Structure formats: C-alpha cells, structure tokens
Chains A and B, each alone.
Chain A
C-alpha cells in the first residue's frame, strides 16, 4: 500500500479528506445539533442575524426559518445528489469504458468518437430540457445528472483497461479458456478501483455544482425540500437585508468544492495515475 503512505504525506489531501468527513457527518447527524426543525417558522425572527445564545447559529431566512438547520439539510440533499449521480455515472462509465478499452480496434474507435461528440455538447441544457419535459423531482435530477456526467469516467476507465488487458494475469485467464465476459468481470473491472476512486472524487463536485446551478435557477430541488443551490438562490434574493443567508450556504459549498479539489488531486498523485 505505497499509495496510502504517499497520500498521508500530502497535508492538503489529508485536510481535504478530513473536511469532507466532517461535512458528511454534519449532513448525517446535523439534525441533532439544533433544536429547530427545517420548516419551523419563527414569526418574531424574520431575516434575523446569527444569535448563538438563542440557538440560531446562522440566523434565519426571509421566512423566519433557522438557517443552520436548513444549511445542514441542504448539505444532506446536495451530497445525496452528488453521491447518487456519481454512482449512476460510475455504472455507465465503467461498463462503457471497460468495454471500449477491452474490445479495442474499430469498436473502441467508434465508442470513443461518440464520447468525444457528447463531450462537446452543452449538457446542462439537456438536463434543463429533461426537467422541463419530465418534471422536477429529486430522483429525476440525480438520474439525469448521472446520465450526463459519465464521460470523464468512461475515458479514464478505458485508458486503464487498455493498460491492463495485456498484463500476464489477463493472458493467463485467456489461456485457461475464460470468456471475454468473465475476463472483464473477474479480472479487468476489479483492478480498476484506483482510477475509479479518482473519477468519483472528480465527478461528485461536478454533480453537486450542476444540482446547485439548477436549484439556484428554481429548476432543481423544490420547496419545502432544500439544497445548497436553493438556499443560495434564496439568499441572493434576500442578501440586501440578510447577507448571512447567502454567505453561509455559499461558504459551505465553496469549502466542500475546495476539499474535493484537494482530496482528488492528492489521491491522483498518490495512486500516480495520469488520465
């Protein structure tokens, strides 16, 4: 495990992973840190500034709801969308990339040419188009985001498969008469975990950004549900009187993106894989 040691020696990556861990814990257990429910309205505190003594750590929004509770709920939804979308893109990307890389030749050419074409398309627009036609529910959002961000994953996995398929253990499996399918499932895909971890770390922030972008515009997560994008959108409309309602969710999003950035770079250097 030389990779793990290299990772430990990279302070930025360790800090990034630690911050991600904290944010994930907050997203899971944050509801126990505040006495207020996410949809409880405090009529005497409309757009009130942060008040630690009263338990309103981040103040309240324009509807008098506790912003701390809502920011943590936003973290839960945003991370959920990020992780679900990246899992969907993982399934598609690994299947597609491994198949293209393993089969090689003309099939590989055609499959990767398709990826190139899709890569140059403005995908956010197709996601918006889909939300217009299909509707705006949380599952639609992460399925569509997952379905459009698998391209990076496919490219990385293909490159790695190309490198793997002439290794001795693959030749040995073939010599023993294993079918293509078996070689792919038992020998190639289990050896792809390194690049796949990196792509997941790259894809999750992408998915979170796309979801926030949509929700900011009012096209993503809908009230009374919330996410960082929804909160930032509300905060932007409300920022003249209550700048904290923009700064807290925006800050959380920025810190998360920064942590993913450092963690992703660190893991990539540690595993020493160039895509």
Chain B
C-alpha cells in the first residue's frame, strides 16, 4: 500500500515538471512579452524593467528562479490587478471553485451511478432506453449551451432560483443551478460507464453464485456487483476532474461566480500573463494531485494492482 503511494507519487513528478516547463517556455519564448504594450519607453527604462523582473538573466537561471518561487507558493504579481499577487487572487477564488467542483463531482457520482445501475438492471427495456437517451443529452449539449438555458428557464422564466451570483456563500439556492450545470456532462459519462460495467459485472460467475446461495438482490448488488462495476468509474475520475475544472470556467462565467475560473477568463482577455500562467500551473498541480489520489484509490479497490 505504502509502496504504491510512493510509486505513484514518483510517477506524478514528470507530469508536474512538464506542466511547469511548458508554461515557462511559453511565457519566455513567445514574441511580444508583457512589456510590449506599444508604449514608447526609453532604453534605460526598458532595461530597468527587464532587470526588475530578472528578464535580463540567462534562461536557465530564470527557470530555476521560477521553480524556486513556485516551490514557495509564489506565482508573482498580477499584471493587471495592481496591488494583488497571483497567489492572493488564487487564494480568494479557490474556496468557491473548490466547493462548486466538489459538489458537482459528488452529485455526478451519486446520480450517474444510480442511473447507470438502474439502466443495467432494466437492460433493453424502456427505462434503460431513457437512461441512454438522457446520457446522450449531457454529451451533445455542452456546458456553455446548457448553463445559459438553465438560467433562462429556472432563473428568469420560472424564477424558482437566482439566475446568477453566489449570494453570501452560505445560501443553498444560489448553488443549485451552477452545480447542476457543471455536473450534467459528468452525470452522462458516469451513467454510460457504470451501465456498461454493471451489465458486464452481472454476467460474472460470482454473481450467479451469490444469487444461488440465496442472497437478496440488493445485497448481490451492493456487496458483489458494485465492487467490480465501480472500477471503470474510478479510473474515469481523473479525466472527470479535468472536465470539471474546464467546465467551471464556463459555469463561473455564466453565473457570475467569484471563483478562479472568472479571474482566469478575465486575465486571458486582458492578457495578464502572470495570472494566466499561475492559474495554469495551479490547476495542473490540482489535476496531478487528483490523478494521484485516483490511482491510489484504484489500487485499494482492486487488490490485483497493488501486487504488481
């Protein structure tokens, strides 16, 4: 178990370095750096600016400086939000984004697994077809179409729920629509995956044995089938995390939620180089971390992995 954790941890390091290095390379090697604003500045001012940000040093020194700063959690100052460092902005937005993302993930798991199992148990009957049709909706209607439609229907026309904003952070009503909008595509994928894997699991000999020894259906499902059927869903959690983070950019934008995703889009529109790069590295780390957790979880759930 411990060796598995260590092994996966070591395996995650190259990914992290690739993310950081790619970001660094893009930051430094693209023409028209952050000071290329079209304003005419004297060569002395230009040189001072470059020195102030250590841009006059050789590239490898800049790279090591960048790594050192990252290791201290320092993403540098924001170029457009004066008086704020990137770290401060990330720290402000992250709790909101994290709550949104985790709630959406939890909802997607519960509803997705429920729908998938339900479809598998009623295989090829109307209920199953309904599940398949529903899961298609989440795949063909992307977040950026679904989120405005949800606002329009439930926020504006029916006025059941607030059409945007995050309230004071403790009001459930503000969270319902964004969480649903973010969870829908993931519900679809998880329902599809778990339906297929549940159908496969139910055909295994040990399920027949469980029925034969007289176990009631819910125990067969919970104790035997679910354990085998959950594995593909667990390995999907990695890509799902990436999808939730990407989707949260859209959802935060549509619902005006003060999370990292909104800062990120504003920063990209205003070409705030440090903030954009900082958020990319930060999200990269989060995704690597989640993949690590998922890998270890997979090893715990599937004893065959740990022994390899």
Contact = CB atoms under 8 A, between A and B. Distances in A.
A232 B15 contact: no
Contact of A240 (B19, B22, B156): B156
B265 A133 contact: no
A253 to B, nearest CB: 7
A87 interface: no
Q: Describe A's contact surface by its main secondary structure.
A: helix
A122 B18 CA distance: 12
B14 A120 contact: no
Interface stretch (B47-55, B200-208, B284-292): B284-292
B250 A239 contact: no
Interface string B218-246: 00000000000000000000100010011
A10 B218 CA distance: 37
A121 B117 CA distance: 30
A235 B144 CA distance: 11
Interface string A232-268: 1101100110010010001001110110010000000
A117 B276 contact: no
B140 A257 contact: yes
Interface residues of A, number: 38
A43 B17 CA distance: 55
Contacts of B264: 128
A257 B139 contact: yes
Given A121-B18, A218-B269, A261-B136, A126 B280 contact: yes
A129 B274 CA distance: 10
B156 A216 contact: no
A121 B19 contact: yes
B250 A219 contact: no
Nearest to A128: B268
A13 B288 CA distance: 37
B249 interface: yes
Given A122-B242, A134-B30, A129 B280 contact: yes
Contacts of A133: 26-27, 30, 32, 273
A219 B19 contact: no
Interface of B: 14-15, 18-19, 22-23, 26-27, 30, 32, 136, 139-142, 144-145, 147-149, 151-152, 156, 238, 242, 245-246, 249-250, 253-254, 264-265, 268-269, 271, 273, 276-277, 279-280, 283-284, 287-288, 291
B140 A216 contact: no
Given A117-B18, A120-B238, A261-B140, 19 more contacts: A122-B284, A125-B279, A125-B283, A126-B26, A128-B276, A132-B271, A133-B27, A212-B144, A217-B250, A219-B265, A232-B144, A232-B145, A233-B144, A235-B148, A236-B144, A236-B148, A236-B254, A254-B140, A258-B136
Contacts of B142: 209, 212-213, 253, 257
A19 interface: no
14 contacts: A122-B242, A125-B246, A125-B280, A126-B280, A132-B276, A133-B32, A212-B144, A217-B250, A217-B265, A218-B269, A219-B269, A232-B145, A246-B145, A250-B141
A253 B287 contact: no
A124 B261 CA distance: 13
Contacts of B145: 232, 246, 250, 253-254
A131 interface: yes
Contacts of A125: 246, 279-280, 283-284
